[in-house]
Amino acid sequence: MGGERLAPLTPEEFQRATGVSRETVDRLRVYEMLLRKWQRTINLVGPSTLSDPWRRHFLDSAQLYALAPQGARCWVDVGSGAGFPGLVLALLGARQVHLVESDARKAAFLREVARATEAPVLVHTSRSEAVSRETVGGADADVIMARAVAPPAALFEITAGVRGPATVYLLLMGREYTGPLTEARNAWKMELDEFPSQSDPSSRVLRIQGVSRGGSRSSAI
């Protein structure tokens, strides 16, 4: 409680918290190994987070899976970086996951993890605003997700090319999320649900749908 630091989450604790299979945990172990290896030469994640990667990265990403609409077929991870959350969700069972990353070195890392873990992802070395429906198979994205890429209002702008009326945004937000969220609600109409983060109770997960231009005070649960 208070300022007490939690012990690092173990793979076994992650499995109990998420209910994933042993095979999935084994693939995530490979992911962790490659993350640590590539981190030596590429700044993929904050170095301090590698003291607790199963909480800070894997659980943080995995919590989105239960919030997505059932039967989602097209997932787009904007500014994927080291693959959080999109690559983790692909290993948990999400299908047709598109990882959008403009940095060629990070995109190479994503392809290496995908190859080693047999994750069902497509990696696009592209700026997020350049991604269109044609890029992701010709249809609207069912889910657009992001972690620490841009404020919601900016994300709505840069993902207009893949957003449809039924698209759901799943956004992992840090502790200082209220200002960016208020800005977005002043400029965009939306339906909003807020959830405490399982990896950091002071952070929030936002599930947003029905996005369209025009400010509106949306309901929040």
- The pLDDT of residue 221 is 41
- The pLDDT of residue 1 is 40
Contact between 219 and 191 under an 8 Å Cβ cutoff? The reply is yes
Beta bridge partners of 189: 212
Place of tokens 């947003």: 208
d(CA 221, CA 215): 19
pTM attached to this predicted model: 0.93
d(CA 89, CA 69): 13
| CATH numbers and ranges of domains, the chain | 11-213 (3.40.50.150)
What are 136-149's pLDDT values in tens digits? Answer: 989 999 999 999 88
What are 45-93's pLDDT values in tens digits? Answer: 999 999 999 999 999 999 999 999 999 999 999 999 999 999 999 999 9
d(CA 121, CA 98): 6
| Phi, psi angle pair for 207, to nearest 5° | -115, 115
d(CA 155, CA 73): 21
The end-to-end CA distance of the chain, in Å, is 25
d(CA 32, CA 52): 11
